[in-house]
Amino acid sequence: MKFKKTLTTLLACAIIGAAPLLPGKLGGDLRAAVTDSEVVYRHKAWQVSLVAFDDGTFACTARVGSGDSSFSIWATATDNASLQFYNTAWQFDGSTADIVVRVDRRASWTLNDSNLSQNSVFFTLPDEDASLRFLREIMRGNILNLYSASGSLIERYSLAGSNASILKLSECVDVLKGAGSGGNPFN
């Protein structure tokens, strides 16, 4: 497949060493369907992928979890990073909710007005220092716990491998930023 061959060439150089419906524009807006994806990096429980959407946009994602339950960090060349908590057992109607996440025994983070859509909870990280501190906690942590606003534990995700994977996610986004207009790495 041409996409995979071009993608592999692009990302092998830029990332790996040398120099269903998923969120189309992130944050829970399901405007674009995934047309293709390529895993560009795996480390411990995590994998980093480059994803192409049917509207011609691209995103990078770092994901941990199985097919039934996962935690992902999505990023594009132009948008803020978004978090996605996914579980096949969830059935949401497009509403919002406050959720709480906690890395190891550190202080909890409340993610107000997270989008609930189909089988996913989405939260777009604001472009500020607090978001960087949050991502650093994930990179240094062992376990990420997802709670309801009332404090009930909903899911647990391994952070083994998150440090290296989030660094590769950042490199993937840099490739998109340098790839031309609209984040298209083929221009």
pLDDT of residue 120: 96
Q: Indicate the pairing of strand 82-87 with strand 92-103.
A: unpaired
Q: How far apart are CA 182 and CA 131, in angstroms?
A: 24
- For the record, the structure tokens of 47 come out as 């994998």
Can you give the pLDDT of all 187 residues of the chain as single tens digits? 344 443 433 443 333 332 233 444 444 444 578 889 899 999 999 999 999 988 888 999 999 998 899 999 999 988 889 999 999 999 999 999 999 999 999 999 999 999 999 999 999 999 888 999 999 999 999 999 999 999 999 999 999 999 999 999 999 999 888 865 455 655 5
User: What is the fold, at CATH topology level, of the domain defined by 2-183?
Assistant: Immunoglobulin-like (2.60.40)
Neighbours of 72 (CB within 10 A): 23
Edge-first strand order for the sheet with 109-118 is 34-43, 46-53, 58-65, 69-75, 82-87, 120-124, 109-118, 92-103, 143-148, 153-158
Model confidence pLDDT, tens digit, residues 59-90: 999 999 988 999 999 999 888 899 999 999 99
Question: So where are the chain's domains?
Answer: 2-183
The pTM of the full predicted model, rounded to 2 decimals, is 0.80
- Select from 168, 186, 173 the least CA-distant residue to 78: 173
